[in-house]
Structures are given as structure tokens and as C-alpha cells.
């Protein structure tokens, strides 16, 4: 179910004010996602070790060992999927909201969800 025009305007206004007031959020959203092959391979290797520990724990019927294996597996997956890019942060003047909110919003890359929303709305 789509949003009414009033709801859409309210959502846009809230989004603009959030971009204008929260510099930390702006810097996080404006960084491109870069993934390191080394980090992905390392994380997957840790995940495989965790799965192995989990299987061994099931074979030995030792629950505490299984919990440790699960935590190791989870840590590996988080490591493999985490954003490791150190991108240059946007300028402070752009993130403090001193310019018009619409101008600052145009500076940011469009996200996957914004593109999907525009497609859904027929824009």
C-alpha cells in the first residue's frame, strides 16, 4: 500500500531535517561500501572453523562447546560482511546543515532503498 501525498511530504521533510541535523549519520550514509577480499576470505575461514566446532560439539554432546562454536561462526560472518572501506568523509560545511537541505541531499549517493522506492512510486 502506497503512502498518501501528505505522508510522502511529511516523510521527505523528516528525511531532510535528519540529514541537516545529524552530521554523523550523513558521513556514514555518504561513504561508499567497499569490501576487502582479504577480510571476506578471513571472515569465511573463521566461519568455517566455527561451523566445525559446532559439529564437533554436537558429536561430543557438549553444549558449552557448541555455544562457543556458534559465537565463533557468528564472529566470522560479521567480519566477512562488515564494511572495511575507509572512505574520505564529506566536508564539514556540507554536513553541518548550513546550506539548504535539498542541496545537501543531492550530494549523497542514492541508496538501494531510495531507488526501489522511486521505482515503486513510478518515478
**Full 3-state SS string of 49-111:** HHHHHHHHHHHHCCHHHHHHHHHHHHHHHHHHHCCCCCCCCCCHHHHCCCCCHHHHHHCCCCC
pLDDT in tens, 22-81: 777 777 777 676 778 888 899 999 999 999 999 999 999 989 999 999 999 999 999 888
Question: 108 near 32, Cβ under 8 Å?
Answer: no
Answer whether residue 2 shows pLDDT above 50.
yes
Share of residues in the chain with pLDDT > 70 (%): 69
pLDDT digits (tens, 9 = 90+) for 71-108: 999 999 998 888 655 444 444 444 444 444 444 444 45
Q: Provide the residue ranges of all domains of the chain, joining segments of one domain with +.
A: 1-34+99-123, 35-82
Amino acid at each position: 500500500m502506497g503512502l498518501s501525498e501528505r505522508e510522502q511530504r511529511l516523510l521527505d521533510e523528516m528525511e531532510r531535517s535528519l540529514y541537516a541535523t545529524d552530521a554523523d549519520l550523513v558521513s556514514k550514509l555518504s561513504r561508499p561500501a567497499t569490501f576487502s577480499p582479504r577480510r571476506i576470505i578471513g571472515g569465511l575461514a573463521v566461519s568455517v572453523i566455527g561451523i566445525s566446532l559446532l559439529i564437533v560439539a554436537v558429536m561430543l554432546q557438549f553444549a558449552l562447546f557448541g555455544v562457543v562454536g556458534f559465537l565463533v561462526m557468528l564472529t566470522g560472518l560479521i567480519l566477512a560482511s562488515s564494511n572495511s572501506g575507509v572512505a574520505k568523509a564529506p566536508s564539514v560545511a556540507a554536513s553541518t546543515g548550513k546550506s539548504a537541505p535539498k542541496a545537501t541531499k543531492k550530494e549523497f549517493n542514492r541508496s538501494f532503498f531510495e531507488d526501489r522506492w522511486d521505482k515503486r512510486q513510478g518515478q
